[in-house]
Structure 1
Amino acid sequence: MGNLLDMNPIISATLQTLSKSRILIENLDDQILINASIGPYYSSIGSHLRHIFDFYHCIIEGVKSNHVDLTCRKRDKEVETSCLIALEYLENIQRGLGNYPNILLKEVTVVDDLGLGKTEISYTHASLLAQANSHAIHHYAIINYILHGLNVSISDLSFGYNPTTPSL
C-alpha cells in the first residue's frame, strides 16, 4: 500500500476513513466489541464493523468481474466477536483497496436490495467507493452512540462525524 497522498483521492479518503476502525479496534476488548446492551437497536460495535468491512469486501471481490453484489456478504460472526479477527479482516480490506486498479471512472454493475428485492444498478467504481465511504461514516456514528452508552471514549473526536458536519 503506497502513501495516501500518492493515491487517487477516493482511495485515499476511503483508507483514511477505515483507519478509524483500526484506532477503534485497538482501543477495545472483545467484551466491548460484542456488547449489545445499548438501545434502541441493541446492536454491537462488532456487528457494525463487520457490516462495514463486508461492504468493502464485496467491492474488492467484484473488481475482476466488474460485478459487485452487495447482498452477498460474508457475515463472519467471528469478526463481530474478536478484535483480533476484526483487525485481520480490516487489514485485508485495506490491502485490497491499496491495490485497487486504476478503473475508478469505469462503470460497474452493482446488485443491491433497496427494499423491493435485488436490483442491478450502474455505478462507476468511484461512485461505489464514495458510497461505501459515506456508509462507513454513517455506521461510525451509530458506533459512537454505542460507545457513549457504554461510557467508552476514544481519542478521535471526529469519529462518527461526516467531514461536512460543521464543527463548533
Structure 2
Amino acid sequence: MTEDIVKNLEKGKYLLEHIHQEKYTDKTIAPYYSSIGSHIRHVLDMFNCVFIGCESSIVNFTKRERNCNVENYISYGLDYFDSIINKLNKLTAADLDKELKIVDDLGSGLCSVKSTLGAVLAQSHIHAIHHYASIGYMLHNLEVCLPTDSFGINPTTPQKVYADK
C-alpha cells in the first residue's frame, strides 16, 4: 500500500522538478484563484498531520502546519515531499494496523472517529489524487503539460475514460 502512495507522491515531486516558479505560484485560474503550490502544501500537510498524530495516536486535521514557504518556493515543496516519502518508506505492514483517533471539523465543529494508520493513509492518498486533479485543471489553463497521463486520475477510473485523449 505505501508503495502506491509513494508512487503517487513521486508524480507530484516530478511536477515540482519540472515546473517554473511563476507557474507554481500563479493564482489567476478561476474559480478558486489558488496556486499549484497551495494545493501541494495542503496535500503534504495532510500526510504530515498523520505522521505527527501517530506519536500520540491522535490525528487532528484542524492543526495542519500550513507552511507558506511550501506554497511559494518549489525547493521547500521538494523538501516536504522528501520528508513525507521517507516517513512512508519506513513504515511496516504492522504499522498500518495502529489504531488512531481522527479529529476534524466536518462543518459543525470538531468530531472524532476511530481508525487505523492504514485507513487514514488511504484517505490521504485519495485526497492527494483529488488535489492533483485540481492541479491538472490549473496546468491545462496555464498551458503546462501534465507530468504523467495518470496525474490526478484515481486508479479505479476506467482506462477508456482518459486513454482516448
Q: Is contact 2:11-2:147 (8 Å) kept?
A: no
Q: Gaps (5+ residues) in structure 1? A: 1-9
TM-score between the two structures when normalised by the length of structure 2: 0.92
Q: Could you say what the CA RMSD is over the residues aligned between the two structures, in angstroms?
A: 1.1
TM-score between the two structures when normalised by the length of structure 1: 0.91
Q: Which residue of 1 aligns with 2:33?
A: 42
Structure 2 residue aligned with 1:123, among 111, 115, 118? 115
Q: Which residue of 1 aligns with 2:91?
A: 100
Q: Does residue 1:143 correspond to 2:135, yes or no?
A: yes
Q: Distance in 2 between matches of 1:155 and 1:103?
A: 31
Give the letter aligned to residue 61 of structure 1: I
Sequence identity (%): 40
Give the letter aligned to residue 50 of structure 1: R
Q: Does residue 1:72 correspond to 2:63, yes or no?
A: yes
Q: Does residue 1:88 correspond to 2:79, yes or no?
A: yes
Q: Distance in 2 between matches of 1:113 and 1:17?
A: 26
Q: Give the paired residue count.
A: 159
Q: Does residue 1:52 correspond to 2:43, yes or no?
A: yes
Q: Is contact 2:136-2:146 (8 Å) kept?
A: no
Runs of 4+ with deviation above 3 angstroms:
none
Q: Distance in 1 between matches of 2:12 and 2:70?
A: 13
Q: Distance in 1 between matches of 2:51 and 2:16?
A: 22
User: What SS does the aligned partner of 1:68 have?
Assistant: strand
Q: Is contact 1:138-1:160 (8 Å) kept?
A: yes
Which structure dedicates a bigger proportion of its chain to helix?
A: 2
Q: Distance in 1 between matches of 2:87 and 2:147?
A: 27
- Deviation readout 1:36-66 (Å, 9 max, x if unpaired): 1010111110000000000000011111211
Q: Is contact 1:55-1:73 (8 Å) kept?
A: yes
Q: Gaps (5+ residues) in structure 2? A: 161-165
